[in-house]
Each structure stands twice: as C-alpha cells, then as structure tokens.
Amino acid sequence: MSTLDIRDVHKSYGRTETLKGIDISLAHGEFLVLLGPSGCGKSTLLNIIAGLAEPTSGDVLIDGRSVVGMHPKNRDISMVFQSYALYPNLTVRRNIGFGLEMRKVPAAEREKAVLEAAKLLQIEALLDRKPAQLSGGQRQRVAIGRALVRKPRLFLFDEPLSNLDAKLRLETRTELKRLHQMLNTTIVYVTHDQVEAMTLATRIAVMRDGRIEQLGTPKEIYDRPATRYVAGFVGAPPMNMLDAVAKGGRLVLADADTSLPLPVAFQASVGDGQAVTVGMRPEALHVADSTSGSTLGTTAEVIELTGPEIVATLRLGGAAGQRIVACLPPRTPIGEGDPCRLAVDPDTIHLFDPESGRSLERVEAAP
C-alpha cells in the first residue's frame, strides 16, 4: 500500500514563488496526472516528491510519514524521465537490472526480477540487445522496466512519452494504462498533453501558475470544469467561449441575431441582464433537425474533414457574429458558405463569469 499526501507545499526560487500552496491526497493505486502548460510548476512538484528539490514550506508524506529532508534513494520511489538515458554499452538485461546490481542483489534474484519486468513489458525477446538496436518505444519500455524491477512504493513519470512519434505515443500510452491496471501501484505523472491526462488518470490536477486550478476525475474535469481555464485546457478542438447576456430567460449572443434558452440548471444563478461566457464543446453541437429544441443560426466558413469527423468553423448570425467550431459526422452535407442551423443540448452548456472565469453555479435537477 502506498499513499501520498502533499500538504500546503510552497516553493520559491529567490523571490519567485513557483508553487503557491499545493494540497493533494492520493489513495493507494491512484494514477494522478499533473496537467498544465509549460512553466506552471509541474516538474517542480514532481521533483519535490522525488526529493530532487525540497519545499520552502509544507509537507510531503508517503504512507503517512514525512519524507521532507530524506535522501531521494531512501524514499523508495522510481522516476521515469522523457530522456530514457540507457547505458549504451549494456544489454537490455543489464540496463533493467542495473539498479539491483548496484545494490548487490544476488544474480539469481536479479535475473528473476528482470525476467518478470521484461515479461510484463513484452520485451523478453530483446533482453540481449543493446539500446542502439531498439526503437524509441522499446527503449522507453526498457526505462520503465528499470523503474519496475525496484518495486517502488511510488512511480513518478516526467513527460515519458514526449520523445516518441505520434503512433508510438499512442501505443506506449495504452501500455502504461495496462501496466497500471496490472500492478495497481500509485503513480504521479506529469504532462502538458490533455489526451494523455484524460486517458491515463484516475484523477487530474490541472495546474496554473503554481496552483491547482481543479483536482478531479477526468469525467469531472471534462463535464464540470470549475473554471474557463480548465474548460479550455481539456478537449480538442477547445470549448467554444461566446459572450452573451441573459435576457428574459434567454442567452442573447453578442453581435449575432441569435439566442438560446437559458438552461434550467442556471436559472437560479443567473440574473436578468447579467453578462456571461457561454461554453459549448464542439462535439456537443449537431446539425439541427425538426425535433431540435435549442438551435443557433450560423453560416459555415471553413470545413475540414479530419477522417473520423468534420471540423466546421461557422459564424453565428450575420457577418459580425462570433465564430463557433462544431465537430460533425464525416458525411454531413455541408460546404463553405452554406447556412447551417446547429442544435445544442442544454445539459451540455457551461456558463462562466466573464470577470473571474469561474463556472456559474448549476442546480442539477433531482433524479
């Protein structure tokens, strides 16, 4: 069992505060992804957990015991970096077992641990090769194997897939998920890739400027983003953000002769005349038919067929209307310049305060 508690962790370099009070509590077996843009403090936090940096204040506990001040090698943590740094002259077998060799683990025991890791990672056939004879993805597996044989209490990953090409990234991502399911270990994983975060995590901490903007399951982060920032970070193409004013039970979109009914869930929290930002995910928009309730009049500007879908950029109302992006089925008969009425399910509409960016309160209907 390994739990991780991060309590009010601050970190300053000189006068710059890089981490501004981080609190996270992980149960055994969780896969936490730290997600955020470059410079938001993800690696600093990971390094503090690993012991490669110390917090300026606050505490880090593994299995309920503080590890602050403890040497990294006594923390029983394995870390996998984006540069896998294998020993070029050693075989895969010795690369994986190197840490055990250094700790004078007897050869037979070492071999058993190496074989077990290689089997899990499906690289048994590669054990006698040198790193130069491996693909990027295979090398990354060897690096993971090296971390695995130590049977650590906690695995830390720092952007482990960012050096791989798109296809390998996908394969290795699936592999990591499978490994986590099999090993049931606690993992903290840093990335700026929202798809990696959504697919791998049991919980995601979306970070911004040294703080956690939202901590939640992938579903919570996607369906109920706490702020406009979180909403814009997860989902591709990103959520549409439209300026609007609530009037007489409708959301009147700025610069467009079009409006939507104010969703019931927001009727208690939005006053008449209040300015709001309306968030709509591109995948929540559809071409309206005769049964559609809430619809928006648009004109198609750019139509891009990606293969599995059409990404349509449309303009709301007249020429001065705001742009909106919709993901439509690939065979939708739509061309540039065509008028298009889009339907939106009121349950998928998000409303944010334009000033603070915070999500407006939603009163869910009783089941």
Which residues of this chain interact with ligand ADP, rule CB under 6 A?
Answer: 13, 18, 36, 38-44
Would you say 99 and 149 are in contact if contact means Cβ atoms under 8 Å apart?
Answer: yes
- Angstrom distance (rounded) from CA 266 to CA 92: 58
Structural tokens at position 68:
């602050």
CB nearer to ligand ADP: give 44 or 322: 44
CB nearer to ligand ADP: give 230 or 265: 230
Pick from 233, 234, 198, 225: nearest CA to 362: 225
Q: Largest Cα–Cα distance of the chain, in whole Å?
A: 78
Backbone angles phi, psi at 66, to 5 degrees: -65, 135
- Angstrom distance (rounded) from CA 167 to CA 169: 5
H helices then E strands: how many in the chain? Answer: 8, 20
Measured from the Cβ of residue 247, the count of other Cβ atoms closer than 10 Å reads 13
3-state secondary structure of 162: coil
Give the shortest CB-156-to-ligand ADP separation in angstroms.
13
Give the shortest CB-343-to-ligand ADP separation in angstroms.
39
Report DSSP state, residue 322: P
CB nearer to ligand ADP: give 22 or 96: 22
Give the shortest CB-38-to-ligand ADP separation in angstroms.
4
CB nearer to ligand ADP: give 91 or 163: 163
CB nearer to ligand ADP: give 4 or 206: 206
Give the shortest CB-135-to-ligand ADP separation in angstroms.
27
Backbone angles phi, psi at 211, to 5 degrees: -130, 165
CB nearer to ligand ADP: give 39 or 318: 39
CB nearer to ligand ADP: give 36 or 263: 36
The residue count of the chain comes to 367
Give the shortest CB-45-to-ligand ADP separation in angstroms.
7
| Rg for the chain, CA atoms, rounded | 25
CA torsion 113-119-124-129 (nearest 10°) is: -60
CB nearer to ligand ADP: give 53 or 287: 53
Give the shortest CB-158-to-ligand ADP separation in angstroms.
8
Angle, CA of 206, 357 and 55, to the nearest 5°: 35
Token look-up 């090296």 returns: 146
Give the shortest CB-14-to-ligand ADP separation in angstroms.
7
Measured from the Cβ of residue 189, the count of other Cβ atoms closer than 10 Å reads 26
Give the shortest CB-208-to-ligand ADP separation in angstroms.
10
